[in-house]
Structure 1
Amino acid sequence: MMHSEMSRRRLLGLGVGLGAAATLTLAGCGGGDDKEPAAAGNGGKEYTGPKVELNLWNGFTGGDGDIFKKLVTQFNAEHANIAVAVATYRWEDYYAKLPGAVSSGNGPDIAVMHMDQLATYAARGVITELDDVAKALELTDADFAPTVWQGGLYRDKRYGIPLDMHPLGFYYNKTVMQSAGLDPNKPPMTKDDYTAALTELKKSGVQGFWVSPFQFTGGMTFYSLLHQWGGTLFDAEVAKATFNSDPAVEACTWLVDMIKQGHSPANVGQDADYLALKSGKNAFNWNGIWQINDLKKSADVQWGVAPLPQIGSKPAAWANSHNFTIVKQRSTDANKVAGAKVFINWLSQHSLDWAAGGQVPARKAVREDAGFKALTEVGSLAPELDYAAFPPAAPGIGEVLTTFYQSFNEAALGKKSPKQALDDGAAKATKQLEDNRKKYGN
């Protein structure tokens, strides 16, 4: 986990700084005939044509990668006329490599992509529309969490079929809690209870809630709190940054005060907050759902996981989602496209097996399955779907979110006051949004 897994999940979240990779001029990309010839498929229900070989790219380099490959192997065994070959890269390499590969005609047929990347790659002509898949399979937001389903849209056209969602969760060390006189089976879920628990932990000599200045995980914690306080990162048109609003400043101040009040060390190193939870040096850690499987391997750690506590006026949690996309080719092969749609539909229907990798399935029917309910820890975070705060569907949003996280970093490290850090960051982010509208033609 502390090697490949942590490297992998850094890019699970938001495409930090990777939007630029998709701004390459994709000469020849999407140059194929958009009016595809007839193929032996019907939008993903079935494929009866000649055998096709499909290349699929993904960034599942951790334990979830093994589960993903097993599912692909099962699909291939059940479909004699479709053969899917998997290529796995680190997410940061994957997003940097994809535009150039597509431009040169060496891109994959299918690509797994985070929700926040869909608009960028759709705007650059890297991926193709999938409205016919949704129509043929009669998929609507009723089959998914509405927020996840809507996240696959760009300019009212569908480019992604959601596979899962991965939110932040609230991890707690039961042993540390018990040592401080707290009930290890009742983690604090309100602002008052959270403050009271931290006070008791401090009395016992424990800094209970370490605040990381980095995106993973302090920045994502602030992202969640900002929405809990009723703030937003951007206005409705994603034309202006609003993460310096009064609610945002209040949320940031609350988190920075954790350091000032001695509940967290200053200048916490990358991942040190999570390692401290595992080693019993702190009690609480807001981290991604992907840590569940790592903790399940840690037999010496007594831990629990729950939805994020509600510190602000309403529940909210940072989240992102993996989506399947079909990549545009220089010359469209209608049979390959038809086969790719069958694979996407099949994997979506089999996402219960995928959930074992530490993801909440996007499909409602799978989440309601008894098999998913048996995945106690992962299932405990499924309610966050109702109030998950997903990134907006806007091209180039990755660089803008990097600015947001850098602003929090400056506040958490005490380089600037929360208000000054957020004011400066919002001004820069608004300029980036303006540049993106020019760059992507919005």
Structure 2
Amino acid sequence: MKKRVWSIFLSSLMILALLVGCQSGSSGSKSNGKIKLVMWDLFSGGDGDFMKEMINEFNKSQSDIEVETVTLEWAEYYTKLVTAVAAGKGPDIGISHTSKLPEIVDQGLATELDPLADSIKLDWDSYNKNILDATVFDGKHYAVPIDTHPIVFYYNKKHLDAAGLLDENGMPKIESGAKGFSDFMNTLKANDSKLTTFAFPTAGDDPFRLWWALYHQLGGYDVVSDDLTSPQIDKPKAIEAANFMKDLYYKDKVIPLNMEDFYQPFQTGNAATIITGVWATGTFEKTEGLDFGVIPLPTLYNTSATWGDSHTIFLPVQKKEDTEKAQAALQFANFIADHGQIWTRAGHIPSKTTVVESEEFKNLPYRSDYEKAAQQVVFPKQSNKVWPIKDIIIRNLDTIWAEKETPEDAFNKMETEIAELLSK
């Protein structure tokens, strides 16, 4: 036991050492009359490029504040961030997914924003209410959402047209209901058996996201009770959604099993459809010769609903409060949300209704075709165990897709595991 405690202690010291290195000794200092702010982020690839562009725009837009960002590896980001903030060595500005925010708020690591928002006249009403509400805890704002990124439905126009499933406006002709969706997929398959009808994985996050969407389209309630103390899975609806997806794999056989890279067949024009997050838009539109369309996830049941998450900007608590720096940081966060027309080039849906209604946004291809999905995102309950609960759900759903467990057994096990987790 002593060895384990000593090992944990050493690991913590190593993490803190890395964190101090990441800060580069410039957190929130004032230089040449400017307020210097350091942000930690987890953005790589295109997301990282667009975020840097917005930071540069902010720095050029005024002469009082300068923001620099440190990009951490995704796998290590939250561990380093939480450890640093708890030790009083965190950045001035942090990025959090909405789904991770309950954990950060519960640990007392995020600054309440309302007094600061009033002082800089931040207008919360300019934000999409569905996106914003997921960042509000006990009536208090703890983060500025900059987007939402739901799963959506992409389709290859050439393949749909060949099967008679494309209308005159370039939209897919899908009859209503779950049967209509199945018939649509089976028609595509019958028209070209060599084509990948529906590019989609057989395990992991993506099947979970689709199951979450269909479960809530059926009217299923959150898997955790309102008081966050016990599971409350609506098993009949959970089973129905899982069985529908299982049929796509094994009965209709419109999804090839165990696809290692499900983007590749769609990107190369060898798949008719794919369901994934809006973040794929930037990749697909840069693919030469790919004539595709995209719409919100089709409504197969009673209610329009989809899975989604959001990136938010929050202000980590500081060892020593500095109102001037905090106001500057919040001004920066609001600026980033105001310039969502840059961020949406990565595919994300901006959090501000003013951006979505702007001509600049409307003139972008594809985005306007799926921006309504922002209203359909069903965020999880604000439990500080959202991520471990998701891991439990994914692990048990994977046994269904692999035909190792029946849906009934899988959801019984899922319920037991969630109950054990919440009891700790």
Structure 2 match to 1:76: 59
Deviations 1:236-259 (A, max 9, x none): 333333335211110110001111
Matched to 1:256, the amino acid is: K
CA shift at 1:121, angstroms?
0.7
Aligned partner of residue 317 in structure 1, secondary structure = coil
- CA pair 427-137 structure 1, distance change in 2 beyond 3 A: farther
Q: Where does 1:336-415 land on structure 2 (aligned, <5 Å)?
A: 336-415=325-404
* Structure 2 CA distance for partners of 1:428 and 1:72, relative to 1, 3 Å: same
Instruction: State the 1:395 CA deviation.
Output: 1.0
Q: State the SS of the aligned residue for 1:253.
A: helix
Matched, 1:63 2:46: yes
Q: Distance in 2 between matches of 1:133 and 1:65?
A: 27
Which residue is equivalent to 2:183?
196
Which of residues 151, 155, 160 is equivalent to 1:168? Answer: 151
Q: Name the CA distance, whole Å, in 2 between partners of 1:385 and 1:210.
A: 23
Q: 2:79 aligns with which of 68, 79, 96?
A: 96
Q: How many residues align?
A: 390
1:356 partner SS: helix
**Structural mapping, 1:32-431, within 5 Å:** 50-136=33-119, 142-183=125-166, 185-189=170-174, 190-191=176-177, 192-203=179-190, 204-205=192-193, 206-232=195-221, 233-265=223-255, 267-270=257-260, 272-431=261-420
Shift of 1:140: 6.1
Unaligned runs of 5+ residues in structure 2 are 1-11, 17-29
Preserved contact between residue 188 and residue 194 of structure 1 (Cα < 8 Å):
no
Q: Post-superposition shift, 1:83?
A: 1.4
Paired with 1:227 and 1:320, the residues of 2 have a C-alpha distance of 15
Structure 2 length-normalised TM:
0.85
The offset of 1:260, in angstroms, is 1.5
Shift of 1:284: 1.8
Deviation of 1:102 after TM superposition, in Å, equals 2.0
Instruction: After superposition, give the CA deviation of every residue in 1:93-136 in whole Å (9 maximum; x if it has no partner).
Output: 21121122223433110001110111111111222111124434
Q: How many Å apart are 1:340 and its aligned residue?
A: 1.0
Cα deviation for residue 385 of structure 1 reads: 1.9
Greater shift, 71-80 or 221-230, is seen at 71-80
**Could you list the runs of 5+ residues in structure 1 that have no partner in the other structure?**
1-23, 29-46, 436-442
CA contact (8 A) 2:200 2:259 kept: no
Distance in 2 separating the partners of 1:413 and 1:249: 15
Do the aligned partners of 1:167 and 1:381 also contact (CA within 8 Å) in 2?
A: no
RMSD: 2.4
What's the CA shift for 1:50? 4.7
- SS of match in other structure, 1:380: helix
1:430 is displaced (CA, Å) by 2.4
d(CA) in 1 for partners of 2:125 and 2:92?
28
- Return the offset for 1:73: 1.2
Q: How far has the Cα of 1:211 moved from its partner?
A: 4.3
Amino acid at match of 1:201: L
> Per the alignment, do residues 237 and 208 of structure 1 end up closer, same or farther by CA in structure 2, a change over 3 Å counting?
farther
Is residue 223–residue 318 contact of structure 1 (8 Å, CA) maintained in 2? yes
CA offset digits 1:288-310 (Å, max 9, x no partner): 00000000111122211011111
The SS at the match of 1:208 is: strand
Counterpart in 2 of 1:43?
Answer: none
Residue number in structure 2 paired with 1:16: none
